[in-house]
């Protein structure tokens, strides 16, 4: 079974430029998450999708960040314009539909963003 | 509110020595508890999880963890560390029936040959 796929793996941009990250979850997983992991920290949730619906985007900085999951499968996270503080690893995770509270998440390899 | 504390930022052990990584959580009910490992440049890989039942949980790569409700702890252990275990380890807590994970800040493990 293929795992969570993310691209690109690395991205270097100058501040004020736009950037986009792509994620393809495990087949059949309804729930998709985007996390940001700053250096020396644990991942922090940015947004969660149930199918194509963003059910929790309370931690997403909406002035510059946006995300979509149009067909309820793959997803794109965008930053426009990027700031120096956005340098981090952006992780995508997916999980099957919650059943009895079982909510294991499977993570992709992440995209390491460097903003110069 | 849920929270996770990993008090050790860095740990160094010799290859073949035993290992214990500490994790304390704060949560009002019985949480779901996880340990993940992250190698450099990689995503997070699940080592083990606790949902209910036996409080001693076996995971992959020879790891185990013990849930101690009285201490609000879920410490990760391995009897004999291998050089390939060098990585960063994250403890996470998830609320029952929800999607939300709260991660600790991680413990970076260094293994001496």
Residues of B in contact with A41 (CB under 8 A): 105-106
CB contact under 8 A, A91 and B44: yes
Among B1, B9, B43, B90, which would you mutate to test the A interface (most chain A Cβ atoms within 10 Å of its Cβ)?
B43
Residue B91 confidence (pLDDT): 96
Q: What is the 3-state secondary structure (H, E, C) of chain B?
A: CCEEECCCCEEEEECCCCEEECCEEECCCCCEEEEEEECCCCCEEEEEEECCCCCEEECHHHCEEEEEHHHCEEEEEECCCCHHHCEEEEEEEECCCCCCEEECCCEEEEEEC
CB contact under 8 A, B51 and A102: yes
Per-residue pLDDT of A5-47, as tens digits, reads 999 999 999 999 999 999 999 998 999 999 999 998 999 999 9
Q: Is the pLDDT confidence value at B35 over 90?
A: yes
CB contact under 8 A, A104 and B34: yes
The encoded tokens of residue B42 equal 């990689």
Residue B21 confidence (pLDDT): 98
The encoded tokens of residue B88 equal 């960063």
Q: How far apart are CA B86 and CA B15, in angstroms?
A: 10
Question: What angle is formed at CA B58 by the lines to CA B52 and CA B63, rounded to 5 degrees?
Answer: 135
Instruction: State yes or no: cis peptide before A75, omega within 30 of 0.
Output: no
Q: Is B92 in CB contact (< 8 Å) with chain A?
A: yes
Residue B27 confidence (pLDDT): 81
Q: How far apart are CA A93 and CA A91, in angstroms?
A: 7
Residue A99 confidence (pLDDT): 56
Residue B53 confidence (pLDDT): 86
Q: How far apart are CA A68 and CA B93, in angstroms?
A: 27
Q: Which 66-85 residues of chain A touch chain B by CB within 8 A?
A: none
Secondary structure of residue A85 in the 3-state scheme: helix
Q: Is the pLDDT confidence value at B29 over 80?
A: no
What's the mean per-residue pLDDT of chain B? 91
Residue of chain A whose alpha carbon sits nearest to that of B10: A40
Q: How far apart are CA A91 and CA A108, in angstroms?
A: 6
Higher-confidence residue of B99 and B47: namely B47
**Residue for token pair 């992959």:** B60
Per-residue pLDDT of A49-102, as tens digits, reads 989 999 889 899 999 999 999 888 999 999 999 999 999 999 999 988 765 555
The encoded tokens of residue A52 equal 């194509």
Among A42, A44, A98, which would you mutate to test the B interface (most chain B Cβ atoms within 10 Å of its Cβ)?
A42
Region B13-37 average pLDDT = 92
What per-residue string of b and e applies to A88-101 under the rule 16 or more CB within 10 Å gives b? bbbbbbbbbeeeee
Residue A44 confidence (pLDDT): 93
Alpha carbon B106 to chain centroid, angstroms: 9
Q: Are A19 and A10 in contact (CB under 8 A)?
A: no
Residue A100 confidence (pLDDT): 53
Q: Is the pLDDT confidence value at B97 over 70?
A: no
Of B13, B44, B31, give the one whose Cα is nearest residue B73.
Answer: B31
Instruction: State yes or no: cis peptide before A81, omega within 30 of 0.
Output: yes
Residue B94 confidence (pLDDT): 84
CB contact under 8 A, B106 and A42: yes
């Amino acid at each position: 079974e293929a795992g969570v796929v993310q691209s690109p793996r690395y991205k270097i941009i100058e501040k004020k430029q736009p950037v986009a990250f792509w994620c393809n979850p495990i087949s059949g997983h309804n729930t998709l998450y985007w996390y940001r992991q700053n250096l020396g920290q644990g991942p922090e949730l940015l947004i969660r999708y149930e199918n194509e619906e963003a059910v929790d985007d309370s931690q997403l900085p909406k002035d510059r960040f946006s995300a979509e999951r149009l067909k309820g499968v793959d997803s794109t996270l965008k930053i426009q314009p990027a700031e120096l503080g956005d340098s981090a690893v952006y992780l995508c995770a997916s999980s099957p539909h919650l059943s009895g509270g079982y909510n294991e998440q499977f993570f992709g390899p992440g995209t390491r963003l460097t903003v110069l | 509110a849920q929270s996770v504390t990993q008090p050790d930022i860095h740990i160094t052990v010799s290859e073949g020595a035993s290992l214990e990584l500490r994790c304390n959580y704060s949560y009002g009910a019985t949480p779901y508890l996880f340990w993940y490992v992250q190698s450099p440049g990689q995503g997070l890989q699940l080592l083990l999880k606790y949902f209910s039942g036996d409080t001693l949980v076996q995971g992959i790569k020879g790891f185990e963890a013990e849930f101690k409700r009285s201490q609000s702890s879920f410490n990760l252990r391995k009897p004999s560390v291998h050089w390939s275990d060098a990585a960063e380890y994250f403890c996470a807590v998830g609320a029952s029936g929800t999607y939300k994970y709260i991660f600790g800040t991680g413990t970076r493990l260094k293994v001496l040959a």
